[in-house]
Chains A and B, each alone.
Chain A
Amino acid sequence: MNDQRKTSSLAMIWLLVMIMVSMAGCASAPLYRKHSDLSQRKRIIKTVGLMPPVISMYEYQAALGVKLVPKDEWSPAAAGEVTKAFISEMGDTPSPMVVIGGREERDLDEMVELFGPVDLSLRQHAYESKSGEMPPREPFPEKIRFLEYSLGPAREAMARKGVDAVWIVRGYNNVPTLGAKVKEGVEILLDVMAALGRAPAVTRTLIKIELSVALVDKDGTILFYNRIDDQQIGPVSQEYPDQAAGTKKVPEAGTPMGREYGEEDLRNPRVARHYIKTLLSDFRTEAAR
């Protein structure tokens, strides 16, 4: 009973943490960071690998507060679409992309695991704090100036895979139910009315999708890092003709594979491609320099 209570309270803390992480006070400046040696090191990178994306999926349900229900069974589909989008986006680059599976190389799997806390440290310590931002940043002066994080060397593992560097992708997706969308719509309406009456807005929109990517070389050095969420990226445009646009229907819990997914769902190929294209556009700019 005591254990149960402890587990429950821990889960509560993490739920709150998730909510905190999911809230954004305001739109942020571009978030990419590059290592000072990127321009030199990228010259010796001929072949790049892509590790399996780690995408945590949640169903965002309408409730008095915010209720996020883990949906691990949705993750493979989302990761699959992100992988396809990545291959498609990098397909026209001179360096071939090698898709690396999970559990093929322990060193590389450990790199992916370690990217979780590194990503957390980057987001907390490598950016200036802004008023109203949630959670508040904890800037470390030297981390703001330089991208100097490592995931540990993996020379032999990369050599066996025939790659000089790997991309690591991680993120989460809070897929709203129809009820949650209605609730959010009502809250926005109330905010508009409050603004008309010159009262401060009190609600904030939950982040639905957030993705981070890192390009990591054989020494484990993160050469490029970028992060994006739906509040920065805006709505998915209809520029991808390979997928029918306007799939507004929000899938119910347990929606089988193959059905159309909504505009806030990484299982939707158009959505995955839109995010990956945006995440990599800064890299393309940097790589072209």
Chain B
Amino acid sequence: MRRTALSCLGMMVLLSVTACTPSSWNHTGGPQMLPPPNEMKAPEAGKATSYRQVTFRVPEGWHWFIRGEDLIATRDGVFLQHIFIERIQVDQVDQDVLGTFWLVAWSSKLWPTRTVKSLNKRFTPGMSPADAAEVLLGSRKNDPALTDLKVQELTTQTIAGHQAFRVVFDFRLKGSQPMIAASPLYRSIYCGFMVDDWFYGISYTAARRYYFEKDAQMFEAFLQSVRLVAK
């Protein structure tokens, strides 16, 4: 009953906004900056905010979109390959995905992983890369949308002058998803690090078959372009 009512409500909203959906993806590569997240707290009196602005270079030929507060960029389609940047404050409990116009860049919102919603441990200020990796992997293991998660490699890497973990893992999206039926195998490279009370996660996810190798080198160049700028 609840499902039926919800789907009915969804339909009504959907039909009402269809006609006025603004344009979505940006098609221009080059230097870009993520807008400050809504979760950013007002700094205490006399103290500067700990949040840093994130700048990066979108590869030519890629399409990008600010999904909620995160960057998502793809060349061929989100379910084939994408680069993702997310920023999570230590006490953050939700992650806006839909935004005001939730049909805009619709396929980006279908991608089902949700780091914050699936956390079973919290990120903490000063956390080591190894501990932060454990929190991230805990979230992925706990994510109801994923299955067959296998960690392939866990190392460290310096990103934007910060010591980060770098974990490579494979997974499938859980079954019964009408959009793609049986999920292909996906591979992610996820790099993450803490700066004060913020976690910064930068990842590349692609179908293991063909698409992962196609842009893996490009992701390394993208990582090199990431900078954190104190406000």
The smallest beta-carbon distance between B216 and chain A, in angstroms, is 14
Q: Does B19 contact A (CB under 8 A)?
A: yes
Apart from the given pairs A14-B176, A124-B107, 9 other A-B contacts in the complex at a CB distance below 8 Å: A6-B117, A65-B4, A66-B11, A111-B209, A116-B180, A116-B182, A120-B79, A125-B76, A132-B18
For A3, list chain B residues within 8 Å (CB): 144
Q: Does A288 contact B (CB under 8 A)?
A: no
In the complex the two chains form, is A150's CB within 8 Å of B77's CB?
no
In the complex the two chains form, is B177's CB within 8 Å of A125's CB?
no
Q: Does A138 contact B (CB under 8 A)?
A: yes
Q: Tell me which of B5, B11, B21, B77 contacts A125 (CB under 8 A).
A: B77
Contacts A20-B14, A121-B79, A220-B210; is A54 near B144 (CB within 8 Å)? Answer: no
In the complex the two chains form, is A17's CB within 8 Å of B18's CB?
no
Q: Tell me which of B15, B176, B181 contacts A54 (CB under 8 A).
A: B181
The smallest beta-carbon distance between A27 and chain B, in angstroms, is 16
For B174, list chain A residues within 8 Å (CB): 10
**Which positions 143-182 of chain A face chain B at CB distance < 8 Å?**
143, 149-153, 170, 172
Name, among A117, A133, A141, A150, the residue most crowded by chain B CB atoms within 10 Å (CB to CB). A117
Chain A interface residues (CB < 8 Å from chain B) = 3, 6-7, 10-21, 23, 25, 54, 56, 58, 63-67, 70, 110-114, 116-121, 124-125, 131-136, 138, 140-143, 149-153, 170, 172, 202, 204, 220
In the complex the two chains form, is B184's CB within 8 Å of A116's CB?
yes
Q: Does B183 contact A (CB under 8 A)?
A: yes
For B183, list chain A residues within 8 Å (CB): 113, 116
For B5, list chain A residues within 8 Å (CB): 64-65
For B144, list chain A residues within 8 Å (CB): 3, 6-7, 10
For B210, list chain A residues within 8 Å (CB): 114, 150-153, 220
Q: How far does the alpha carbon of A14 sit from the alpha carbon of B106 in the complex, in Å?
A: 13
Q: Tell me which of A18, A140, A204 contacts B15 (CB under 8 A).
A: A204
For A21, list chain B residues within 8 Å (CB): 178-179
Contacts A114-B207, A124-B106; is A18 near B178 (CB within 8 Å)? Answer: yes
In the complex the two chains form, is A120's CB within 8 Å of B179's CB?
yes
**Which positions 145-179 of chain B face chain A at CB distance < 8 Å?**
145, 174, 176-179
Contacts A25-B18, A114-B209, A152-B210; is A138 near B24 (CB within 8 Å)? Answer: yes
Q: Does B110 contact A (CB under 8 A)?
A: yes
Residue in B closest to A112 when the chains form the complex, CB atoms: B182
Q: Tell me which of A15, A64, A114, A136 contacts B18 (CB under 8 A).
A: A136
Report the interface size for chain B: residues with CB under 8 A from the other chain: 48
Contacts A17-B110, A220-B210; is A54 near B11 (CB within 8 Å)? Answer: no
For A118, list chain B residues within 8 Å (CB): 77, 80
In the complex the two chains form, is B145's CB within 8 Å of A10's CB?
yes
Q: Interface code B90-119, partner A: CB below 8 Å = 1, 0 otherwise?
A: 000000000000011111001010000110
**Which positions 179-201 of chain B face chain A at CB distance < 8 Å?**
179-185
Contacts A6-B144, A149-B76, A202-B15; is A170 near B181 (CB within 8 Å)? Answer: yes
The smallest beta-carbon distance between B103 and chain A, in angstroms, is 5
Contacts A3-B144, A125-B77; is A12 near B14 (CB within 8 Å)? Answer: no
The smallest beta-carbon distance between A270 and chain B, in angstroms, is 25
Contacts A10-B112, A70-B176, A151-B210; is A116 near B11 (CB within 8 Å)? Answer: no
The 4 closest A-B pairs by CB, nearest first: A121-B77, A152-B210, A116-B180, A117-B79
Contacts A19-B10, A63-B4, A136-B21; is A110 near B178 (CB within 8 Å)? Answer: no
The smallest beta-carbon distance between A45 and chain B, in angstroms, is 20
Q: How far does the alpha carbon of A202 sit from the alpha carbon of B14 in the complex, in Å?
A: 12
For B106, list chain A residues within 8 Å (CB): 20, 124, 135-136, 138
Q: Does B8 contact A (CB under 8 A)?
A: yes
Residue in B closest to A139 when the chains form the complex, CB atoms: B25
Q: Tell me which of B4, B77, B79, B184 contacts A64 (CB under 8 A).
A: B4
Q: Does B42 contact A (CB under 8 A)?
A: no
Q: How far does the alpha carbon of A93 sit from the alpha carbon of B19 in the complex, in Å?
A: 45
The smallest beta-carbon distance between B109 and chain A, in angstroms, is 9
Q: Tell me which of B27, B63, B178, B209 contacts A151 (CB under 8 A).
A: B209
Contacts A114-B209, A114-B210; is A19 near B179 (CB within 8 Å)? Answer: no
In the complex the two chains form, is A140's CB within 8 Å of B178's CB?
no
Q: How far does the alpha carbon of A113 sit from the alpha carbon of B208 in the complex, in Å?
A: 11
Q: How far does the alpha carbon of A16 sit from the alpha carbon of B102 in the complex, in Å?
A: 13
Residue in A closest to B143 when the chains form the complex, CB atoms: A6
Residue in B closest to A61 when the chains form the complex, CB atoms: B4
Q: How far does the alpha carbon of A14 sit from the alpha carbon of B175 in the complex, in Å?
A: 11
CB pairs A–B below 8 angstroms (11 shown): A10-B145, A11-B176, A14-B176, A14-B179, A17-B110, A63-B4, A117-B80, A138-B24, A140-B27, A202-B15, A220-B210
